[in-house]
Amino acid sequence: MARLAHVGNAGLVTTPQNLDERFRDAVSSLPLPEARRAPGDAVRDGSTLTGARALELFDAQLASRHLDLAARWLRSFNEGFYTIGSSGHEGNAAVAAALLPTDPALLHYRSAAFFSARAKSLPDAARDVLRGVVASAREPIAGGRHKVFGSADLNIVPTTSTVASHLPRAVGLAFSIERPRSDSRWPRDAIAMASFGDASANHAAATAALNSAGWFEHSGVRLPLLLICEDNGLGISVPTPDGWLAAMLESRPGLRYTSADGCDLAATYDAATEAAGYVRRERRPAVLHLSTVRLMGHAGADAEVAYRTADEIARDLARDPLVGTARLLVEAGLLGPEEVIGRYDEVGWQVRKVAEEVLGEPKLANVAEVVAPLAPRRPLRAAHRITEVATRALGPGAAARSRAFGGKLPEQSGPLTLAQTINATLTDALAYDPGVLVFGEDVGRKGGVYGVTKHLQERFGDERVFDTLLDETTILGLALGAGLDGLLPVPEIQYLAYLHNAEDQLRGEAATMSFFSSGAYKNPMVVRVAGLAYQQAFGGHFHNDNSVAVLRDIPGLVLAVPSRPSDAAPMLRSCLASAASDGSVCVFLEPIALYHTRDLHQQGDNEWLAPYSGPGAWTTEHVPIGRARTYPLGNAQDLTIITYGNGLRMSLRVAAQLAEQGYGSRVVDLRWLNPLPVNDLVREAAATGRVLIVDETRRSGGVGEGVLAALVDGGFVGAARRIASADSLIPLGPAAQHVLVGEDAITQGAHALLAR
């Protein structure tokens, strides 16, 4: 590795070679021990860390350091693609030793020592990490898609977070572990551990996690959660104010706070052992604040001399945890200085050998290989699951189903509204899958703002249907953790606009899990969201949000929009089955304005209602993900109207008027906005050669843009026109009509096309 420039006149550097030289110089200058301790003795009076364990952890620390050096060596000739290192954070090896190997861990990106300590085999750990560095397709967790610390065998859940977005998931995982059940992925005595940096502690996701952990503790809910803050005093180039982390973390209600010097292996081990023991014994959350340093900058290309003084760098170098552990071992008489350096060189040789071996491994070769684990969708398997559930409902579960509905089955209750249909479908889901949980703001005792979850808590208890604190990040974090642990969460986001507070929990956490773990970990969920516009008496931009662009842009996410009761039940069952069988992340977007709609053409016609089908019809009425529904009117030869949501009702009304005028239409309800039912819409468009897209979302970034693109890509050569809402937030009251799509605009658009 080439020697790079020194820092100022002090000769301080942050390059790999000079860090290596400083370690050798510091160890060589250590005095020989006066006496030797036995490997079974404590390395220091008052510590619980034995010499034998200290030697094991030192090897993990050495591996971590040499992995950093190897990553920079690989980067020097463009064969390494990730150089965010762990140098200065090697003390987290002691955290790994303080936990059980069956404790799930969600790790900070400077956790190579933790990974190495839990892996036990140094060559295996080095190979896993370096395969990620070189983006090898043989990397065992992400398969070359990203460099992560993760392993299903080691119970290390991969995270790609740089801003603590994995912490709400950790809260959810601890919540799930503590639930009384026999099918948890982890043992009943397990605790969830998550580590994060000092700068990340200021992020909204971290604040949400710390707050919700305290909230649960204050509410009497047990939460076996250990949070580790590794505080190196810097967020890339921005220093963390002295004392801020301690003041902030210590003041958090409901969280037991302890701290230790993260550069002192024995002190870290003692503190981590005590903190983990408390969490395991009491099933209560705790945070351990470790003071660390950051060596060699934020990443390989980071020149920290641009924002740090020579004295600041010198102070960190003086606290190098590798030197600290070497001093501990020498003072205990477990190793001499030459033995330390020999051990250092031996580990370095092993890591370098592995680095050379992984250089030639194949990379991901094509799009199909890259996206393979993104969103595996097996419709036949999902359909089979629905059939299995229906069979149970008709057979041994019939009596339980009757009890769940209070003796009055919904298929015997006459036609239902959209809200009533969703309620009945959720009841059936809760009745036949003990892993289903329904939770969110006001979903329990109140039964939801619009009554969609009414009576569910009464029927199934507050263990399975419950209210959460009013924080969307926490709601989705609970779902992420519960899904990871094998449950099937159905969280509710009260309004679509509220989702934007927490959308990274879907984009950065939920959608990435299968992708960055090659399917080893999944977080199935069906997120119910009340949204879209057209509420008559209750409006404004928060309660009438009509933007779904952020959801359609998430790779692999399923976005369902049921418009009619007859579609809502089979679509929701499809989402639940896909989540259970494939680990799908689904968003079930429910049009608020259609919840209680009864009529289609005229008051009292009840044509928007639909009977609820019993289990005997679930298989035949199954709606696969990504299939549209077509309504032919008249001869259905003159015009194709493509729409969804509230647009379906308006389009059907307009199409009926056109039929009276002698024009035949086919109205296509997309039903699925991600993935779009491309084959269906292209086929229906070609049948008439004239396409009117009725899109209630905004003209810019709306669904209509995607439909137009799909038509072009599918070879459609006819005439197309788009009706969309204005690029505006939704105002309060009658003014909303000026920006939203209305029936008059649909009629005008239809006639313009028919005149061609």
Helix or strand run (H / E) with residue 348: helix 337-358
Q: Output phi, psi for 374, to 5 deg.
A: -60, -55
Instruction: Report strand pairing: 672-674 vs 465-467.
Output: unpaired
- Residue for token digits 């008496």? 537
For 472, phi and psi rounded to 5 degrees? -65, -30
Those residues whose C-beta lies under 8 Å from the C-beta of residue 310, and which sit 6 or more positions away, are 7, 8, 9, 10, 12
How far apart CA 669 and CA 86 sit, in angstroms, is 52
Q: In this structure, what token pair is assigned to residue 137? A: 């397709």
Tokens of 280: 């395991």
Pair 64, 116: CB distance under 8 Å:
yes
The two structure tokens encoding residue 93: 């090896």
Cα separation of 208 and 412, whole Å?
A: 44
Kindly write down the DSSP assignment for every residue of 64-128, as one continuous string.
HHHHHHHHHHHHTTT--------TT-TTHHHHHHHS-TTS-EE--TT-HHHHHHHH--HHHHHHH
Q: Are 224 and 280 in contact (CB under 8 A)?
A: yes
Catalytic-role residue among 543, 596, 601, 622: 543
> Widest CA span of the chain, in angstroms?
104
**Which two three-digit tokens encode residue 725?**
């809402």
Which of 547, 606, 618 has its CA nearest to residue 576? 618
Q: Which of 456, 452, 460 is nearest to 444 (CA)?
A: 456
Give DSSP secondary structure letters for 727-748: SSPPPSGGGGGGTS--HHHHHH
- Cβ–Cβ under 8 Å, residues 440 and 493: yes
Reduced to 3 states (helix: H, G, I; strand: E, B; else coil), residue 412 is helix
Asked if 320 and 59 touch (Cβ cutoff 8 Å), the reply is no
Report d(CA 8, CA 10) in Å as an integer: 6
- Cβ pair 516, 146 in contact under 8 A: yes
Distance (Å) of CA 552 to CA 64, 71, 79, 112, 706: 40, 36, 34, 35, 9
Helices (H), 661-702: 678-688
φ, ψ for residue 440, nearest 5 deg:
155, -165
Tokens 């020989």, residue?
Answer: 32
Cα distance between residue 503 and residue 220, in whole Å: 28
Cα-based distances in Å from 595 to 153, 573, 589: 46, 18, 12
Distances (CA, A) of 521 to 580, 583, 633: 13, 9, 47
Phi/psi for 91 (5° steps) reads -65, -20
Task: Indicate if 596 belongs to the active site.
Answer: no
Q: Tell me which residues are annotated as active site.
A: 543
